[in-house]
């Protein structure tokens, strides 16, 4: 049995952005796909990224969003 959860930790702006990613394009044959991911907030699209896997595309899109939102020092 799991212990009851404590109060939720406030999420950071970066994790809020991460939750709003979607695949906007898949190109290529199944063995050589290229995924394009879009990151959006309530204000609109803030980053795009591409990669050979959804994970690589998501990382690239999240990094672009962090720069766009001015969260990177």
Q: What is the DSSP string of 1-17?
A: -PPPP-SPPPPPHHHHH
Residue (of 72, 38, 71) closest to 54 by Cα position: 38
Residue 27 CB coordination number (10 Å): 10
**DSSP element (H, E) containing 70:** none
Q: Look-up: residue for tokens 């044959």?
A: 29
Span 6-24, mean pLDDT?
62
Q: Give the Cα separation of 35 and 13 in Å (integer).
A: 24
Q: Look-up: residue for tokens 């109060």?
A: 7
Q: What is the pTM of this model?
A: 0.71
pLDDT over 70 at 65, yes or no: yes
pLDDT over 50 at 48, yes or no: yes
pLDDT over 50 at 7, yes or no: no
């Amino acid at each position: 049995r799991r212990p009851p959860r404590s109060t939720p930790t406030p999420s950071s702006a970066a994790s809020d952005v991460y939750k709003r990613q979607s695949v906007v394009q898949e190109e290529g044959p199944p063995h050589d796909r290229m995924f394009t991911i879009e990151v959006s907030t309530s204000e609109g699209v803030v980053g795009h990224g591409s990669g050979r896997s959804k994970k690589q595309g998501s990382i690239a899109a999240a990094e672009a969003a962090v720069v766009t939102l001015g969260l990177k020092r």
